[in-house]
Every structure is written in structure tokens, then in C-alpha cells.
Amino acid sequence: MRPLRHDRFIKEFEHDTYKTKGKLSEPTVCRECSAVFHKGRWQWLARPAGADETLCPACHRIHDKYPGGYLTLRGPFQKEHRDEVINLVHHIEEREKAGHPLRRIMSVDQQGDNILITTTAMEMAREIGDAVHHAYKGELCYQYTDEANILRVEWKR
């Protein structure tokens, strides 16, 4: 585990292997989720006429089952307040996804007493971890893997 600086975080994300590469023609629509690539970024827009089709980076990750972020919730608190905690997780998902089409939850799984959440973007794991930490205190830590460009977040209370 090592602390993660914000500027480093942003810089690393620029090298994301699932980042939209090169120049997509505009408009381009994701054939899975219908997000639209417009003005250099993916947005939720009405489908434009004559758009090209591709897979957006989030759907690409879902298709490959290759998360960009992992968030593990540990400790007795989340076990005793499971519904409340999961509701918060989905609330943050809705909020983030509304403004950032590439930020999605891929899965929410119970693993023993813990909850493991996988996400399409490391920012999503970070945002949910921060929200859980803000709401319920406890301990939060980040682990960034350079080689794989994956962020693992752990929260415990």
C-alpha cells in the first residue's frame, strides 16, 4: 500500500489502455449502451443521424471482464448495515454515471463477509470508496498497480 497523489492519479489515467484511442469520427455511438462520442468525449446524448458504431471503453471492459477499479468493503459495519451501505453505493453510481458515461459498476458480489465491487473506471471505485468513508468514517486505503493500470480501494470499519 502506498498513498496516491491526485496529480499522479490523473496522469496515470491518461495512459489507460481502454482509453479511446486515436481519432474516432464524430459522431460515434456505442452499440451496447448508446453513449455518444461527441466533442472528444463520451456523453449521454440522443443518437445523432449517420453515426458510426463502436464499443465505448466501458462496454469494452465489461465485454472483456476487465475491471479498472476494485472496491472491497470489510468489517462488521457493512455486514450489519448492508442494505444502507449498498443503497449508498448505487446512489453514487447513479450520480457518477449520469455525468460520466464511462464510470459504471460491473459487479457487486458478496465474498464471505465482505463486499467486492468492480468498476469500469478507477475513478468510480475511488468515488464510491470516498463516499462510504465520508458517510461512515472507518479506514480507507488505495493501492495502485502501475503495470495493470488498476486501482484497488479498501474500506474497513
Q: What is the DSSP letter of 48?
A: P
Handedness of CA 52, 31, 104, 18 (dihedral sign): negative
Q: Any contact of residue 32 with Zn ion (CB under 5 A)?
A: yes
Residue 30 binds to Zn ion (criterion: CB under 5 A): yes
Q: How far is the CB of 98 from Zn ion (least distance, A)?
A: 15
Return the residue matching grid coordinates 448492508. 82
Should residue 128 be labelled a site residue for Zn ion when binding is judged by CB under 5 A? no
Taking CB under 5 A as the binding criterion, the range among 11-19, 22-30, 83-91, 141-149 that sits at the site for Zn ion is: 22-30
Write down the residue that cell numbers 448495515 correspond to. 81
Write down the least CB distance from residue 60 to Zn ion, Å. Answer: 8
Q: For residue 65, give Cα distances in angstroms to 2, 57, 140.
A: 26, 12, 25
Min CB(150)–Zn ion separation in Å: 20
Size of the site for Zn ion (CB under 5 A): 6
**Does the protein bind Zn ion through residue 153 (CB under 5 A)?**
no
CA pseudo-torsion sign 91, 137, 80, 103: positive
**Residue number with CB closer to Zn ion (29 or 73):** 29
Residues 50-79 that bind Zn ion (CB under 5 A): 56, 59
> How far is Cα 59 from Cα 57, in angstroms, rounded to an integer?
6
Burial of 126 (0-12, 13-18, 19+ CB in 10 A): buried
CB of 33 to Zn ion, least distance (A): 3
Rank residues 33 and 153 by Cβ distance to Zn ion and give the closer one: 33
Q: Are 94 and 100 in contact (CB under 8 A)?
A: no
User: Which residues lie near Zn ion (CB under 5 A)?
Assistant: 30, 32-33, 35, 56, 59
